[in-house]
Structure 1
Amino acid sequence: MSIRYGDVLAELRQAYDGGAAERDTHEKEPWRVAERAAFEARLRAEGRRSLLEIGAGTGQDSRFFMDAGYEVVAVDLSPEMVARCRAKGVDARVAHFLDLGLPEESTDAVYALNCLLHVPDADLPAVLDNIRRVLRPGGLFYLGVWGGRHHEGDIDTDRHEPRRFFAWRTDEALLAYARGSFEVEDFHVVGVGEFQFQSLTLRRAR
């Protein structure tokens, strides 16, 4: 039987609660800053004003978008991460990807950096549909994840306790999932050492 998102939630929450303080000290690598800036430039060019960050972590990206003038809501599975978002002045809420707790068509944009790689393949279509549901028609969705090959399970090098579940996907598989719910505006790969980061900008059809 394939693993499901509900099977991994408790351990993910525990791992990220325990790692929140250390993560809040991380500085963004230049390539991450460039990815975020490129998406913000698209939003600005289209006159977008509101943004939902999912898997928001400690709120560094949410704070960036707030400082750029956007109305931001952040959600994260981890109460400790949400507390750190709120300490930065972010409207942050505890929620998971299958129950975002937001009305339909309530935001112009969604930003998800390295969080949907915790969703098993079996539940990714439902999660993407749920993200589409909260986006306004024509809205933009930034999806960035590690991947490039197929893997489902924990990894030996994970420093979190308990070890987190990861779902990595080939480029072809990830694009196929994305096209099931969105139009693909941009897809490119960023090479980071031996790793591959998959960057997608997606649009909800009008």
Structure 2
Amino acid sequence: MRYSDIAARNRAAYGPDAAADRDTFAKEPWKLSERSAFLSRLRAARASSLLEVGSGTGQDSAWFQSEGLDVTAVDMSPSMVERTAAKGVRAYPRDVLDLGFPAESFDAVWSMNTLLHVPTDAMDEALASICSVLRPGGLFHLGVFGGKHEEGVMAEDHHTPPRFFAFRTDEQMLSLAARHFEILDFHVYAVGVRYQSLALVRPVQW
């Protein structure tokens, strides 16, 4: 499938009904732990501005904003953007391959379970796009489900239309990330599926 077809499919899957449903989800403890750990890194680095890539309904963006960060959020789904904006967060309907911000606009980027919708052959472009909007030394939390190399439309998915997913091995994720970032930390959670957590930094020398 072409990237444009994948993006259109997933955008439709995350329409008004899906957004309303997801806005009722409670955060699992491990997700709260990941979020708090990243905030600690941001405070240690004296970061003040954060971009969330794939904000969903804006729960994380609103939390980071409540902790004093200047937050901007993007999501490919207009319905998700509407939910995020309703929480008082500056939000835009954007695709990760075309974020639409000037170079080096943000101190940090947060993205949890969004880039698993990007096919592997487009991941290098997606990571380069994120790196370009980070200031040198900027921090990036990249978290996705994965652990094995498998991608395609999940026929059993409960969304309509069924979503496209790309799962990658630990080695693939580390190799892709290292093309654009320094890796500060990598760990996984076994939470029914495997969550790959990467703490990354844009090198000072580009």
Structure 1 residue 157 displacement after superposition: 3.5
Structure 1 residue 4 displacement after superposition: 3.5
Structure 1 residue 158 displacement after superposition: 1.5
Q: Which residue of 1 aligns with 2:5?
A: 7
Q: Does 1:166 align with 2:177?
A: no
Q: 1:156, 1:198 → 2: CA distance?
A: 23
Q: 2:97, 2:45 → 1: CA distance?
A: 28
Task: Check whether the contact 1:97–1:127 (CA below 8 A) recurs between aligned residues.
Answer: yes
User: Secondary structure in 2 aligned to 1:123?
Assistant: helix
Q: Which amino acid aligns with 1:24?
A: D
Task: Check whether the contact 2:120–2:166 (CA below 8 A) recurs between aligned residues.
Answer: yes
CA-atom RMSD in angstroms: 0.8
User: Secondary structure in 2 aligned to 1:197?
Assistant: strand
Q: How many residues align?
A: 203
1:109-148 residue CA offsets vs partner (Å, 9 max, x unmatched): 0000000000011110011001000000000000000000
Q: 2:159, 2:189 → 1: CA distance?
A: 24
Q: Which residue of 2 aligns with 1:125?
A: 124
Task: Check whether the contact 2:131–2:180 (CA below 8 A) recurs between aligned residues.
Answer: yes
Q: Which residue of 2 aligns with 1:86?
A: 85
1:68-87 matches, within 5 Å, as 68-87=67-86
Q: 1:203, 1:141 → 2: CA distance?
A: 6
Q: Which runs of 5+ in 2 are unaligned?
A: none
Report runs of 4+ in structure 1 exceeding 4 Å deviation.
none
Question: TM-score of the superposition, structure 1-length normalised?
Answer: 0.97
Q: Which residue of 2 aligns with 1:103?
A: 102
Q: 1:134, 1:5 → 2: CA distance?
A: 21
Q: 1:4, 1:133 → 2: CA distance?
A: 24
Q: 1:87, 1:47 → 2: CA distance?
A: 28
Q: 1:129, 1:14 → 2: CA distance?
A: 25
Structure 1 residue 7 displacement after superposition: 2.2
Q: 1:127, 1:13 → 2: CA distance?
A: 17
1:72-104 residue CA offsets vs partner (Å, 9 max, x unmatched): 000000000000001100000000011101110
Q: Which residue of 1 aligns with 2:138?
A: 139
Q: 1:162, 1:7 → 2: CA distance?
A: 12
Task: Check whether the contact 1:75–1:93 (CA below 8 A) recurs between aligned residues.
Answer: yes
User: Secondary structure in 2 aligned to 1:37?
Assistant: helix
Q: Which residue of 2 aligns with 1:49?
A: 48
Question: TM-score of the superposition, structure 2-length normalised?
Answer: 0.97
Structure 1 residue 156 displacement after superposition: 3.8
Task: Check whether the contact 2:112–2:142 (CA below 8 A) recurs between aligned residues.
Answer: yes
Q: 2:37, 2:4 → 1: CA distance?
A: 33
Q: Which residue of 2 aligns with 1:153?
A: 152
Q: Among the aligned pairs, what percent are the same residue?
A: 55
